[in-house]
Structure 1
């Protein structure tokens, strides 16, 4: 495993790119793990309408914005990313649930 190089220690663009690639690989791994739970959630739901729960979505967004702020990440950027992720997950869940009912 390659040691993490802090941004200030990156001597050139290639150093920065290597670190971004490392972070991207970790993010994809985390998204893949998250996806397994979204799939399981879809298996536990019986109606496609259950996939969209506005109160839950807003609670997630509130937590994400708070965490982003505490990490000095732009809250609007974090919210946009999560709303996109959640939207995709809701549609994915609806598709799984609907397909199960067609069988």
Structure 2
């Protein structure tokens, strides 16, 4: 028998809430892993480490994230901080992959 997903209002104990947060954390990890696959592919496609930082693309992504956060009644500043951190990590990862490939 599988556990049924509880909406926040259906959680009656701290354990209920923690179980749902753990479930969501696992889903987020899965999504980040899937996203990382695309970042890795992008690093394989790009030929110069400088291509990893695309200011216009970054700002477009952040604008979309802020708008989507607002639609979901989330703090746009917090969402932006999370995505800028993720993007910074991705840019550095891409630069490293591209540089390593070019040095061979």
The bucket for the TM-score relative to the shorter chain is: over 0.9
How many aligned positions are there?
Answer: 103
The equivalences for 1:4-15 within 5 A come to 4-15=5-16
* Deviation, structure 1 residue 2: 2.5
Structure 1 unpaired stretches of 5+: none
Cα RMSD between the aligned structures? 0.6
Q: Normalising by structure 1, report the TM-score.
A: 0.98
CA distance in 2, matches of 1:92, 1:10: 39
Tell whether 2:64 aligns with 1:56: no
Partner residue of 1:93?
94
CA distance in 2, matches of 1:98, 1:20: 38
CA distance in 1, matches of 2:32, 2:38: 10
Structure 2 unpaired stretches of 5+: none
Question: For 1:2, what is the secondary structure of its paired residue?
Answer: coil
